[in-house]
Amino acid sequence: MTTLLISLVALAAEGVAQPPKPALAPSEIVAAAPTADWVEIAPTDLLVMTLASGKQAIIQLIPPPFSLGWVGNIRTLATARWWDGLSINRVQDNYVVQWGDASEKKALPAGLAAMGEISYETPLASPGFNPFSKKDAYAAATGFLKGWPVAASMPSPQSGKARSRSARQPSFSKFWPIHCYGMVGVGRNLSPDTGSGAELYAVIGHAPRHLDRNIAVVGRVISGIEHLSSLSRGTGALGFYEKAEERVLITSIRVASELPTSDQPRFEYLSTESKSFAAYADARANRRDAFFIRPAGGADICNIPVPVRKKI
């Protein structure tokens, strides 16, 4: 309702009778959000990936409590310059772009955490979770946490936790990050392997939510995804490039905090606990701006991308 109210208020201020204006578009709500609703992303949470073409993609690492071991490994790998000179080896349409060591022989740096077979779900204090929808095929609920799309499960009916709560105020038990467009995950071999973080992919198609809780989500591309999503698709099985010369060379991947201050990219995201975000999410789910004739009345969590912009 927020966006509708905004337009009615605007009309009242003008003090003249005229047909109701269309409500603000989601992008207009974001543009109007006050500075206080934006949260700067620490340079230690940004990776700068530079391709041989000079084009760059910037990845935000996922915050705690998600995927801690892998995210730590990724910082170690970047600091060791492990990806420099390696390549993008797989581009599968409507699925992923994947990079790492095509030879599968490059030694990993010292100091990586051994990631055993651990759960991809995390318990956490429910109050930090801002639920958005229960109409989801993959989870009891979806919502946002610290600027990220997150899914939640309910405790099983047999558990004491479930019994101690009323049906009207359910408490979620486990949480996990969602594979939306642009999300970055950790390639792995068959279970019990969970990957080290050296082999990474970014989603370039419809959200492959069947990967949720099967692979570690470690970040998201917040700038330059088009330099990955527009690459030629590989013609081998699973979209791997068949010839070495098709691979796309990676000049470097750096943690932004290791770059000279003047080269550090600065980005901020719209706080998912802000009123601006609530209005934006509502407008994404109920488009009332001029083009739309029928608001959907709901939205898939991956159709509410968290606004991220350069900090000026």
Binding residues vs its own copies (CB under 8 A): 91, 93-94, 120, 133, 135-138, 180-182, 190-191, 205-210, 212-214, 225-226, 229-233, 284-285, 287, 290-294, 296-300, 302-303
- β-partners of residue 48 are 58, 254
Nearer to its own copies, 57 or 255 (CB): 57
Omega of the bond leading into 295 within 30 degrees of 0 (cis): no
CB of 208 to its own copies, least distance (A): 7
CB of 259 to its own copies, least distance (A): 25
For 177-243, the DSSP string reads E---TTEEEE---STT----SSSEEEE-SS--GGGTTTS-EEEEEEE-THHHHTSPPP-SGGGB-SS
Nearer to its own copies, 106 or 288 (CB): 288
Nearer to its own copies, 44 or 235 (CB): 235
CB of 128 to its own copies, least distance (A): 23
d(C-alpha 1, C-alpha 15), whole Å: 21
Nearer to its own copies, 166 or 291 (CB): 291
Nearer to its own copies, 10 or 238 (CB): 238
Position 205, amino acid:
G
Of 16, 18, 19, 20, whose CA–CA distance to 6 is shortest?
20
CB of 110 to its own copies, least distance (A): 29
CB of 38 to its own copies, least distance (A): 22
CB of 81 to its own copies, least distance (A): 29
Cβ-proximal residues to 53 (8 Å cutoff; 6+ apart), any chain: 227
CB of 296 to its own copies, least distance (A): 5
- Can you tell me whether residue 135 is helix, strand or coil? coil
Angle at 149 between CA 144 and CA 151, to 5 degrees: 85
d(C-alpha 178, C-alpha 27), whole Å: 23
CB 184 within 8 A of CB 221: yes
d(C-alpha 141, C-alpha 151), whole Å: 6
Nearer to its own copies, 117 or 245 (CB): 117
Nearer to its own copies, 161 or 206 (CB): 206
